[in-house]
Chains A and B, each alone.
Chain A
Amino acid sequence: MMRVLRPLLVLAGVCAAWELVVRATGVPHYILPGPVRVANALAAQHAFILENAATTLLEMLLGMLLGVACGSVSALLLAQSRAVRRWFLPLVLASQAIPVFAIAPLLVLWLGFGIASKVAAAALIIFFPVTSAFYDGLVRTERGWLDLAHVMGARPAAILLRLRVPAALPALASGIRVAAAVAPIGAVIGEWVGASAGLGFLMLQANAQMQVDLLFAALSVLALFAIAFYAAIDRLLRLLVPWQPVTSDSD
C-alpha cells in the first residue's frame, strides 16, 4: 500500500510546490503553466493527446521488437564466431558512439515522415544495450557447466542453445530492461526531427504555438506511458525468466 502511496504523495507535493511557485511569482502561463492549467489542457484535449500517444507507443513497441531481435542475433553471432568478433565488435561499439540525434534526420530522409523512421531510431538506441548485455551473458557461461557438457559429450549447437543461451537469459533480460527505459527517447527524437503524429510531434507543435500547457500535458502522458511501458516489460521478463536472481527491489 505504502509502495503505491509514497510516489503519489511525492508527486502531489511536487505539484503543490509547482502551483505555489507559479502563483507566487506570477510567471506568465506561456512560460510556465501551473499544474491546474496543465490538467485542464489534458482534460480538454485528451482525445487528441491519446491519439498521438498511441502512435508513439506503437513506435516504441515496434522499435523494441526490431531492436531486441537485431541485438540478440548480433550477440549470438559475436559470441559464436571469433571472425565476427574481430570484424564487427568495433562496429557495434561505434554504433553506440554515434548519437541517434545525429542520424535521426538521415533516418527521416531515408525512411520518410511516417512511423518507419521512428521505429528505426528507437531500434538503434535499443540495439546496443541488448547486444552488449546478451553478449556479456553468453561469454560468461559458468565454467562448471561447460566442463560438465564437455564430459557429457555435448554437441556444440546444443551447448549454445541448451546451456549458454538459457544461462544468458537473465543478462538479456537486464539488457531489455535498459532498452525499455530508452525506447521512448528513440521514438520521440524521431518525432522531433520530422513527423505528422506522435507525442514528440505534438509537443513541438504546441511549443511553436505557445500552447505550453498542452506541451506539459503531452509530456506528462509521455512520462506515464514510459513508466507503464517499463513496468509491463519488467513484469513480462519476470514471467519469462523466473530464475533471475533478484538482487535489489525496484518498486
Chain B
Amino acid sequence: MKTDRSPSVFDVDVRSGGVSYAGAKLFDGLDLHLATGRTMCLLGPSGVGKSTLLRLIAGLVPGEPGTRIEAGDGRPLEGRIAWMAQQDLLCPWLDVRGNVLLGSRLRGEPADAARADALLDAVGLSDKAGAMPATLSGGQRQRAALARTLMEDRPLVLMDEPFGALDTITRWRLQELAATLLAGRTVVLVTHDPREALRIGHEIRVVAGSPARLGAPLRPSGVVPRPLEAPDLLALETRLIGELAGAAA
C-alpha cells in the first residue's frame, strides 16, 4: 500500500509564538520544535489554546508581532501543509471521490482520480468512491477526510482533534490507520485524549495555563502506532492525566 510519494520532509520551529484573542493573551513567547518526520501530540484541556496554536502554524490566525514560524529548509510553509479538523468537512454536494479531489478542484489543477481511488482503497473506502457523504457513517466520513488529507501529499500535516467525535473502536482503528499512512511526515495532532497521544505520538507535550505554556516533552519508546498493551503506556497515561489534572486545578 504505497500511497506516499515522499515529499521532502522538514522540521518546523515556532519561535516566540503569541496569539491574542479579544485582548487576552492565549499564549505568549511560546517555542515549539517539530522534529522532521515525527508526530507531535499537543495534549490539553478544551479552550486552552492548543487549536489556536495549530491554526497559527497553519496561517489561519495572525501571530503577535515577533512570532516566527520557520521551516528547517528555510522556505515558506505556505502550500506545504495539509489540514484535518474534527469535523470531516466533507462537501455534501460531492461524492466521496470528489471530496478527496477537493484540493485540486479548488486550485484548478487536473484531478488525479487514480491516486484518489488508491487512497480510498488505503483507508478502506474503495467501494464508497461514488457514494454521497450523507450515506456514510461517522467513521467512514472521517476516513474520507483522512484520504482527502493524504491526497494533498504535504510534508507537514496538522490535525485538530480529528477523531474526537468518534466512538472508541472506530477511533482506535482510525488512529492506527492515520499513524501508518502518515508515517514519514511531520505531523502535529491536537487531542484531549492522553491515550490517543500515547498511541500515535513520537513526542507529547501538555498545553496548560493562561497564557498557555508547554509542558516538558514526553517521548514514549516503541514504534507508532503503539499497541494498547505496551508495558509502560499505563504508567505514562497516569502521569499525563496527573499533569492535565494539575493544569486544570
Contact = CB atoms under 8 A, between A and B. Distances in A.
Interface of A: 142, 144-145, 147-155, 158-159, 162-163, 166-167, 169, 242-243
B91 A151 contact: no
A166 B106 CA distance: 13
B91 A166 contact: yes
A163 B90 CA distance: 11
B106 A159 contact: yes
B141 to A, nearest CB: 13
Contact of A158 (B58, B107, B152): B107
Contacts of B91: 145, 163, 166-167
B105 A162 contact: yes
Interface in B140-188: 152, 158
Interface of B: 55, 58-60, 78-79, 81-83, 85, 87, 89, 91-93, 102-103, 105-108, 132, 134, 152, 158
Contacts of A158: 105-108
Contact of B93 (A144, A147, A152, A169): A169
Contact of B107 (A153, A166, A167): A153
A153 to B, nearest CB: 5
Given A142-B89, A144-B85, A151-B82, 9 more contacts: A144-B87, A144-B89, A147-B60, A149-B106, A152-B103, A152-B152, A158-B106, A159-B106, A163-B91
Given A147-B60, A163-B91, A243 B85 contact: no
Nearest to B132: A243
Contacts of B83: 147-148, 151-152
Give chain A's interface secondary structure class: helix
Nearest to A154: B106
Give me the 4 closest cross-chain CB pairs, A-B, nearest first: A154-B106, A243-B92, A151-B83, A152-B103
A154 B79 CA distance: 10
Contacts of B158: 151
B78 A153 contact: yes
Contact of B89 (A148, A153, A154): A148
17 contacts: A145-B89, A148-B83, A148-B89, A149-B106, A150-B59, A151-B83, A151-B158, A152-B103, A153-B78, A153-B106, A153-B107, A158-B106, A162-B105, A163-B91, A166-B93, A242-B132, A243-B132
Contacts of B87: 144
Contacts of B93: 166, 169, 243
A101 B107 CA distance: 48
A151 B106 contact: no
Nearest to B145: A148
A149 B103 CA distance: 7
Given A166-B93, A169-B93, A243-B134, A147 B107 contact: no
A167 B108 CA distance: 19
A151 B132 contact: no
Contacts of B78: 153
Nearest to A165: B93
A162 B87 CA distance: 19
Nearest to B133: A243
Contact of B81 (A151, A154, A155): A151
Contacts of B107: 152-155, 158
A167 B102 CA distance: 14
A158 B158 CA distance: 23
Given A158-B107, A162-B105, A151 B92 contact: no
Contacts of A150: 59-60
A152 B92 contact: no
A242 B95 CA distance: 12
A135 B77 CA distance: 34
B60 A151 contact: yes
A61 B32 CA distance: 62
A130 to B, nearest CB: 20
A169 B89 CA distance: 17
A242 B135 CA distance: 12
Contacts of A152: 83, 102-103, 106-107, 152
